[in-house]
Every structure is written in structure tokens, then in C-alpha cells.
A and B are shown apart, each in its own frame.
Chain A
């Protein structure tokens, strides 16, 4: 056993519980680890809240104590996010037409829409977990929006050809303008679902929500727009998702700045 293995033996272990015998052997020969293990085994100074402080908290809570219903199940919340996404995309495609489906190859259709669906599902699941403090995250919620965006860029870049296109910016801007209202439309019900939970980190949740709403716009454009030039899709379609994420992030930053750091009054409970 080396010092690195010793870390693993110490991490996540109750300080009172005995170490494995190999770890004890290492401690006998390694002064550095002996110091570390000794320091970690030291008792922490007891902290006792003042009785007055505890009474104040208890009285405040008791005064405003009412039964509350626990939030809906995670599956219900996930279903609400996914239903919002699908309904928004379906409504938009119904209005605009599904012209892209006719011109894309089956491989392009399945992989593009499949990766959009996977990204959407992962973001929705992450948002459900962000609504409940202390939820388990299998993928870091900070990295997921970035990871999803990069994956989509790679899929588009691999599946579609890059060609020089006349009026590239005008065409891309037309698609962004068509996609942004779809994103905004999706954002409203998403926000209504989100406010049922508690958002501890508005910047992180804002970016993920904005990206999810933007992906609704991007998905509708992917089904609608028959322009298969890779740059056009990246800028004109995925640009809607990127703008959604940035908007959500900025709203989150604004909300975070407005979050109260406050002293307690009895009337707060």
C-alpha cells in the first residue's frame, strides 16, 4: 500500500472505525500518513447552539407550522418536462411543416433526432434532480449542458456536409428568428414546473432550462428546415439552443444576485 491507497482507505470512512490491516502496516512505516491519520482522528470541537437561538428557531417554526404535501414524484416531473418539450415541438412543426424529413437520409434523421432526444432527456432528468435538494446526480449538472451541446455539434458536423452557401447569415438568421419564439414558448411551462421545487443554484439551473427550451426550438427547426448545410444547422438551428442557454444563464445570474442573505425574523417563518 502507498500513500495514494492510504487516501482511499481514509476517504469516506468513519474516523472511529479501524483501518484495514494493510493501511495500519503502511502507517507504521510512513510518517506523513501517520500525521494525516492522527489529525483526522482528532475530535472536532463541539458546537452547541445557544438555547436562546434554538428556542427562537423552534418558536418561529411552531408558529407557522402547517401540513405540506411532498412534491410529486420524479417520474411525474420528468413526464411534465418531456410533455412540454414534445407538445411545443409538435405544435411548431404542425404550423411550419416537416420539410426536412423528406430531404434527410434515414441515418441523418434518426441520428439527429435521436441525439436531440437523448440530450433533452438527460437535461430534463438533471432539472428534476436540481428541483430537489440533495438529489443524486449521475452526471454533473454543471457539465451536462456543455457536454450535451458539444455532442450535438459533433453529431451535426459528422452527419452533414459543409458547403459554401449564398446568403448564409440571412438564412441562418431567418431560422434563429423562427426558433427563438418556440424556445420562449417552451420556457413558460418549464418554468411553471420548476417553481414547484426549490432552485438552489439559479445560474446552473437557468442555463440547463434555457438550453432545454432552446433545444425545443432547434428540434422543431431540424424537422422543418430543408437546408442541410452543416454550418447552417450549427448556426441557424443549434444557435437557438445556445441563445436559450445564454439567456437562461443570464436570468439565473440575475436571480442569484437578487437572492437574499438575511437575518431571521419570526415573521419569516
Chain B
């Protein structure tokens, strides 16, 4: 069982022994919360910012997530992986935030208008930014892809965080890649036709 943050996770580059610090947190070690907050917050913020509906409220959701984590810290079991526990709580905070802001209609419009958005935020290599790509996916697929790439979670950990099975997560990722492949292809064709780089 992996106990720290992988190198491929987006916002963290260093390895932090999360299990160890969670146990210290439960024992009220004053150094533990700061260590965990510093290690996990960038990826959590990235996670919320990657969600189209929660992008603007990502900072509030990060704070809300830590509030929830603090309240239910007794439910973390020493020895269990920390990331799925944290992301399961963050996911709930995200859903509540989403419902609160009721941005479903705006989300649907944004998905329809994707090619324009791609062009706006296109990095120098000619591909759309990851955030814009993910925004084109249905919510459940967005969540899986974001956890895999932004949070650095494994398939097993994503399954745990989403109260799902590994098979169901694989299927969602598979569908997400199929959809992204089509979108990217259309985008590339449009760019060739329009003379874009």
C-alpha cells in the first residue's frame, strides 16, 4: 500500500509520509496539520479548479474540505492509504459546492463551446490545456481523470475515493479517453482547416 504522494501528482514534487502524519494529527501533534495542509492543499486546489462548476469557488472548497477533514479525522484508520480518504471527503465537499452554486446550465454551455475555449488557452505546443480538455468530459469522467492525473491517485485509490470498484473506474477512464480522442481529433482538423498552428 503506497503511503505518500507520488512524483507524478501535479502540485507536489516531494514525498511526504502521509500515513505517519495522519496518525500524528490524530494524536494532536501540532506539527501534523501544517505538514498535511502544505502537502495536500495544492493538489486539492487543483482538483477543485479542474472541476468546471467549482473553479471559481476552489479556495472556499479547499477550506471547507479541511474543516470536514478535521471533524472526521477519527475515521482515518492508521495503515490505510490517506489519499482516498482525503479525496472522498473533498469529493463530497465539491458536490455540495456544486449544488450550492447550481451552475449546471452554465456548465453545459461551456461544454458546447469548447473549441473556442481550447483556442483561448492553448499552450505553445498546439494542444489544448488539460483543464479545458477535462472540462469537456461528463462529471463522473472528469472526476476520475482529475484524480488520476492531478491528485496522483492510483486506479485502486480512485475507486476507494469514489466509493466505486476498480472495474467501474477503469471503464470511466476508458470512456473519457475515447471522448478526448474524438475531441482532440476534431480540434486538430479544425485547426488544419482554419490554418491554425
Binding site for B on A (CB under 8 A): 3-4, 7-8, 10-12, 14-17, 31-33, 35-36, 38-40, 42-50, 53-54, 56-58, 60-62, 64-71, 73-74, 129-142, 197-198, 200-201, 204, 259-264, 268-269
Contacts and interface: CB of A to CB of B under 8 A. Distances in A.
Given A45-B131, A264-B63, 12 more contacts: A4-B174, A35-B181, A36-B184, A39-B180, A56-B63, A70-B75, A70-B77, A129-B163, A133-B84, A140-B165, A263-B60, A264-B60
B63 A263 contact: yes
Given A131-B75, A261-B97, A11 B170 contact: yes
Given A61-B33, A136-B159, A42 B72 contact: no
B33 A7 contact: no
Contact of A49 (B59, B76, B156): B59
Nearest to A67: B28
B87 A11 contact: no
Most buried by A among B45, B97, B157, B181: B181
Q: Is the interface of B mostly helix, strand, loop or mixed?
A: helix
Nearest to B174: A7
A195 to B, nearest CB: 11
B80 to A, nearest CB: 7
B148 A141 contact: no
Interface string B6-39: 1110110000000000000011101001100110
Interface string B79-105: 011011111110110001101100000
B26 A135 contact: no
Nearest to A30: B181
Contacts of A200: 88-89, 91-92, 163
A132 B185 CA distance: 42
Contact of B89 (A56, A67, A131, A133): A133
A53 B81 contact: no
Contacts of A73: 77
Nearest to B187: A35
A47 B26 CA distance: 27
Name the 6 nearest CB pairs between A and B, nearest first.
A134-B84, A134-B85, A133-B88, A261-B100, A14-B8, A261-B96
A50 B185 contact: no
A8 to B, nearest CB: 8
Given A32-B184, A46-B11, A137 B77 contact: no
Contacts of B159: 136-137
Nearest to A133: B88
Interface centre among A4, A39, A47 (most CB of B within 10 A): A47
Contact of A33 (B64, B156, B165, B181): B181
A47 B42 contact: yes
B42 A7 contact: no
Contacts of A39: 127-128, 130, 133, 180, 184
A261 B64 contact: yes
A111 to B, nearest CB: 27
Contact of A67 (B27, B58, B188): B27
B117 interface: no
B74 A69 contact: yes
Contacts of A198: 71-72, 75, 89
11 contacts: A7-B173, A39-B180, A42-B127, A47-B45, A64-B70, A65-B33, A67-B27, A132-B75, A133-B89, A134-B83, A261-B64
Nearest to B83: A134
Nearest to A264: B63
B150 interface: yes
A38 B86 contact: no
